Amino acid sequence: MPTGVARSWPPQVYPDFNSRARRFPRSGYRMAGRRLTQRQRERIERLQKRRRESAGQGTDAQDGAGLGPEQTGLVIANHGQTLIVENGAGQLCRCAVRQNLGRLACGDRVVWRAFDTGEGVVVAVGERHTLLARPDYNGQLRPIAANLDAVAVVLAPTPEPSEYLIDRYLVAIAAIGARGLLVLNKIDLLDRSGLAALAERLEPYRRIGYPLLLASGHAAHGLNELRAWLRGRTSLLAGQSGVGKSSLIKALLPDREIRIQAVSAATGHGTHTTSASTLYHLPDGGDLIDTPGVRSFELGEIGSNDLDRGFPELAPYLGRCRFSDCRHETEPDCALRAATECGEIAPRRLDSYRQLRAMLQAAAKLG
């Protein structure tokens, strides 16, 4: 971990966290009492009492008492213990979450039931195929986005891109099992030679399989290609502050304001602010999760396998150095350095790999 970077602030990636979702039981729940209104709480207590009384009689007393049938939904906004869930017909419902389900995130697929008050309760969460999480202020892991298929790393001429930062994003993306895409935004700021120079600098990423799209949110350039790439996927835009993520999101989502108003209406009390994570449907298909607090993500508790997954081009050479504990620095017969000298590996990528490996090893020694 570089010094001066607060561990708790940037979101981190915890691949093992995904496994928690599989253990969520569908029954034997306790109600999430704290965030329910007094009226709801009383209702639930009555229901539970009646349920206990009717246990063994083969009836589901809940159905007769204002709790509708189970239905599936998608979490599209998250305000702590209150979620906005969208049903199959596109209707939004404010839902509490049963406590034993833990924290949910935008992108979670859920089973929920509506009260006759119009609000609902989430009773189960589907297995997540990916989960991006970060620790909150007291170190508890907090899910940020569930079921992401892809993360677009947005870059721009300013702020100047850093290969090390890009590589850290790509490792984090590979660690959760999502696909990575590079978007070089604000190309309206570049002349022909400036663009050629920056594209050349990013060429190593294209060579190892990361698509590179050129875009300008302001000049509405490259947006069709970006839309085509996002279609059919659940994605998130990541990148340093100032690269133009918010501008791109606005350009991609012409109905964003309408959606924000609909989410606000569904929250009932208080309004939905854009500082909360929100899942938007893209007009051409696909979903975009906007998590404005998430500027960059950091490596968290990832192992060296995750690191290696973020450097696919090293795979043919790993384990082929003369020394099994080779640090790929000055050791003789280093397969990675030899491959770099032959042009098979970009020197900057090897630099990043060495730095990240050293960082992970130092972190492992600490504890």
Ligand X SMILES: Nc1nc2c(ncn2[C@@H]2O[C@H](COP(=O)(O)OP(=O)(O)O)[C@@H](O)[C@H]2O)c(=O)[nH]1
Which residues would be at the binding site for Zn ion (CB under 5 A)? 321, 326, 328, 334, 336
Is the Cβ–Cβ distance between 122 and 77 less than 8 Å? no
Instruction: Give the position of tokens 């969460």.
Output: 125
Binding segment for ligand X among 46-54, 123-131, 238-246, 272-280 (CB under 6 A)? 238-246
Binding segment for ligand X among 5-13, 73-81, 213-221, 321-329 (CB under 6 A)? 213-221
Residue 169, Cβ neighbours under 10 Å: how many? 24
What gap in Å lies between CA 80 and CA 77, rounded to an integer? 9
Under the binding rule (CB under 6 A), the answer on residue 198 touching ligand X is: no
When CB distances are held under 5 to 8 angstroms depending on the partner's kind, the choice from ligand X, Mg ion, Zn ion, none that residue 268 binds is: none
Is the Cβ–Cβ distance between 74 and 108 less than 8 Å? yes
Considering the complex, state which of residue 114 and residue 156 has its C-beta at the smaller distance from ligand X. 156
Binding segment for ligand X among 64-72, 110-118, 222-230, 235-243 (CB under 6 A)? 235-243
Among 181, 165, 185, 273, residue whose Cα is nearest residue 235:
181
Which one of 48, 81, 100, 246 is in contact with Mg ion (CB under 5 A)?
246
Instruction: Give the position of tokens 């991609």.
Output: 252
Considering the complex, state which of residue 120 and residue 157 has its C-beta at the smaller distance from ligand X. 157
| CB 145, min distance to Mg ion, A | 16
Contacts with ligand X by CB under 6 A: the residue count is 15
When CB distances are held under 5 to 8 angstroms depending on the partner's kind, the choice from ligand X, Zn ion, Mg ion, none that residue 328 binds is: Zn ion
When CB distances are held under 5 to 8 angstroms depending on the partner's kind, the choice from ligand X, Mg ion, Zn ion, none that residue 336 binds is: Zn ion
| CB 170, min distance to Zn ion, A | 21
Residue type, 55: A
**Alpha-carbon torsion (298, 311, 234, 68), positive or negative:** negative
Among 275, 247, 294, 9, residue whose Cα is nearest residue 144:
294
Considering the complex, state which of residue 32 and residue 238 has its C-beta at the smaller distance from ligand X. 238
Widest distance between CA atoms in the chain? 78
Which one of 247, 274, 296, 355 is in contact with ligand X (CB under 6 A)?
247
Which one of 190, 243, 263, 314 is in contact with ligand X (CB under 6 A)?
243
Contacts with Mg ion by CB under 5 A: the residue count is 2
When CB distances are held under 5 to 8 angstroms depending on the partner's kind, the choice from Mg ion, Zn ion, ligand X, none that residue 185 binds is: ligand X
Under the binding rule (CB under 6 A), the answer on residue 245 touching ligand X is: yes
> Hey, what's the torsion of the CAs at 95, 96, 101, 105, to 10 degrees?
50
User: Helix, strand, or coil here: 101?
Assistant: helix
Considering the complex, state which of residue 193 and residue 305 has its C-beta at the smaller distance from ligand X. 193
Residues in Cβ contact with 196 at an 8 Å cutoff, skipping those fewer than 6 apart: none
Whether the bond into 143 is cis, omega within 30 of 0: no
Is the Cβ–Cβ distance between 162 and 155 less than 8 Å? no
> Hey, what's the torsion of the CAs at 66, 70, 71, 73, to 10 degrees?
90
Among 3, 1, 252, 300, residue whose Cα is nearest residue 144:
300
Under the binding rule (CB under 6 A), the answer on residue 188 touching ligand X is: yes
Considering the complex, state which of residue 96 and residue 294 has its C-beta at the smaller distance from ligand X. 294
When CB distances are held under 5 to 8 angstroms depending on the partner's kind, the choice from Zn ion, ligand X, Mg ion, none that residue 334 binds is: Zn ion
Which one of 12, 216, 267, 340 is in contact with ligand X (CB under 6 A)?
216
- Residue/partner pairs of 201-209 with CB below 8 Å, 24 or more apart: 201/161, 202/155, 202/161, 204/346, 204/348, 204/349, 205/166, 205/170, 207/313, 207/346, 208/312, 208/313, 208/349, 209/312
Under the binding rule (CB under 5 A), the answer on residue 247 touching Mg ion is: no
When CB distances are held under 5 to 8 angstroms depending on the partner's kind, the choice from Zn ion, ligand X, Mg ion, none that residue 217 binds is: ligand X
Considering the complex, state which of residue 84 and residue 360 has its C-beta at the smaller distance from Zn ion. 360
| CB 75, min distance to ligand X, A | 23
Under the binding rule (CB under 6 A), the answer on residue 110 touching ligand X is: no
Under the binding rule (CB under 5 A), the answer on residue 264 touching Mg ion is: no
The residues binding ligand X (CB under 6 A) are 185-186, 188-189, 216-218, 239, 241-247
